[in-house]
Structure 1
Amino acid sequence: MRNLEIADMKASQVVLGLMHLNEPDKKPVEVLETAFDGGINYFDHADIYGRGECETIFGEAFKKTSISRDQVYIQSKTGIRPGVAFDFRKDHIIESVDGILKRLQVEYLDALLLHRPDALVEPEQVAEAFDALEKAGKVRHFGVSNQNPGQIELLKTAVKQPLIFNQLQFGLMHTGMIDAGLHVNMKDEGSLVHDNGILDYSRLNKMTIQAWSPFQYGFFEGPFVGNPKFPELNKKLDEMAEKYNATPSGIAIAWISRHPAMMQTIIGTMNPKRIKEVTDASDISLSHDDWYALYLAAGNILP
């Protein structure tokens, strides 16, 4: 498993997202140990996942593993309030982190991310919350999710800490960040910039993109790997899997990892077998031509 140098962390390129940890018949101890044994040392949470239940399950399961706290990085997100919407006010952020730490049974988070944008955000409130959490030793690093360059720059007018992460949906069936850069100055749909150039902004500002739902198509409509709706893409994934001695899922992850932006990829599977498939393929480096072949097989066009 390749590690990325992010701030003072040597974080695995593949991240295990724990949104589904509370689903029936899951074996959380086995899930965590399989991931760690495969080289994953970064775990992603959010206080909204299972309305806190996923963090509670993780906290109990982690104690039963042979993994020590200093061997892993634990991240969570805050800002979504059930029944309300988004809330980036100082008091909510601080209270949320206290709840997160209690449920996870840890003393600090390696990273805290603001979960999606809050239309009523006041950067000064966020800054005060981040300062208090950092001073108390409760959070070491900070970031955002699903935010564009303008929203990030607005936060930076008050926030002193570097914002080092941005979680964004990206994968073979969510290539908008790539499309706009390839179709510059073209009169077609691919040239539309929906995110203010977030990919180049991230590289210029040394923000690590954490790609979420890498196997999904549409808006949580389901996985594309093995899906008969996408015969050309799956044919190419199968070809690449044979060429690189991997699985199609592993190749889908390798496609993201091949991008020079050095993204992390968040996988959400709680199936130990699938986790192992991904970690076994984590060191694959697709060739330049194979990367483009997969991009085209996903239904994209080049100008």
Structure 2
Amino acid sequence: MKSVDLGRSGLNASAVALGIMRINGLADDAAAVNVLETAVANGINFFDNADMYGKGECEARFGRALRQSKIKREDILIQTKVGIVDHAYDFSKKHLVEAVDASLQRLGVDYVDSLLLHRPDPLFKPEEIAEVFDGLQNAGKVRQFGVSNMNPSQVDLLQHSLNQKLIVNQLQFGVMHTGPVDAGMHVNMSDPRSVDHDGGIIEYSRLHNMTIQAWSPFQYGFFEGVFIDNPKFMELNDELQKLADKYHVTKNGIAVAWILRHPAHMQVILGSMNLERIAQMAAGADVQLTHQEWYDVYFAAGNDLP
């Protein structure tokens, strides 16, 4: 498994990470142990959590599974996200401090390697967040910081007040969610793909050495379903299968390889709790698609060029 130096911070993470949003849906803690150990056996050393996943139960189950597993805490990197509350986003000092402490308790760890602000709170005060980050880092509770679903202006506004460099931005990106690259190819056009919804976030991230963590890489739309083996996307699945046969992996692996082929050096966040699929997806990190193959998948997904 190749690694990614997240935001050039020295956190060397596996290019494929495992998100635990669905871990509370497993039958029991023993099943969760199998998931974590399978991920590690396939080269994954990075686990992505959030306090709102399962209203905290996902972090709690992850923590129990980690303690019951053969995995050593020092051999993996743990990330969590905070800031989403019922019907609101909350980046206030009080909430962030309490949320991090609660996450650490549920996870059963003394620190997390990275902490992300989950979705932008329009009422956030950068100087207040700076105070929180300083306190968390000085207390040894958080090593590095990042954001999720923020545009370049929001990142700049926050970064201006911080003493820490924001190392990652977690964004939805994948074969069927290509908006961040569509707009870059449809510059000076008036078609729907020319609309830049994200402020040139990929280019911004490359310029500022922020690692993009691609979430929901197998979903189309906003959690409308997966595109692998979906009869709605036969042309795409045929192309993925052709490449899977060539590289002796699966369609899941090729979908991962497609994201990692981008020169932004992204990290792919998996969401599967299926042991076989985790192995299939992780194998994609070892596939290097050609320039034309990347475009062939892009076209098969229903995209075009101006």
**Shorter-chain TM-score: which interval?**
over 0.9
- Contact 2:26-2:32 within 8 A present in 1 as well: no
Aligned to 1:110, the other structure's residue is in SS state strand
In the TM superposition, residue 158 of structure 1 has moved relative to its aligned partner by: 1.2
Residue 280 of structure 1, CA deviation = 2.3
Q: In 2, Cα distance between the equivalents of 1:167 and 1:294? A: 23
Match of 1:281 in 2: 284
Q: Shift in Å at residue 211 of structure 1?
A: 0.2
Q: Deviations over 1:242-301 (max 9, x none)?
A: 011110011000000000000000000001111011122321000111000000000000
Is 1:94 matched with 2:107?
Answer: no
Answer yes or no: is 1:67 the counterpart of 2:75.
Answer: no
TM-score, length-scaled by structure 2: 0.97
AA in 2 matched with 1:290: E
Residue deviations 1:138-195 (CA, integer Å, cap 9, x gap):
0000000000000011102211210011000000110001101111111211111101
Question: Per-residue CA shift, 1:68-115, capped at 9, x if unaligned?
Answer: 111000000000012x41000011111111001111110001000000
Q: State the match for 2:47 in structure 1.
A: 43
1:8 aligns with: 10
Moved more, 177-186 or 22-31: 22-31
Which amino acid in 1 is paired with 2:25?
E
Q: Which runs of 5+ in 2 are unaligned?
A: none
Shift of 1:127: 0.7
Q: Which residue of 128, 150, 155 corresponds with 1:152?
A: 155
TM-score by length of 1: 0.98
Query: Which sections of structure 1, spanning at least 5 residues, go unmatched?
Result: none
Secondary structure class of the residue paired with 1:222: coil
1:190 aligned partner: 193
Query: 1:25 deviation in Å?
Result: 2.2
2:138 paired with 1:135: yes
Are 1:260 and 2:255 matched, yes or no? no
- Whole-angstrom distance in 2 between the partners of 1:280 and 1:86: 36
Higher helix share: 2
State the distance in 2 between where 1:34 and 1:235 align: 28
Runs of 4+ in 1 over 2 A off after TM superposition: none
| Helix, strand or coil at the partner of 1:101 | helix
Rounded Cα–Cα distance in structure 2 between residues aligned with 1:208 and 1:282 = 16
Tell me which amino acid in the other structure corresponds to 2:275. Answer: P
Residues 255, 284 of structure 2: 8 Å contact kept? no
For the aligned residues, what is the CA RMSD?
0.8
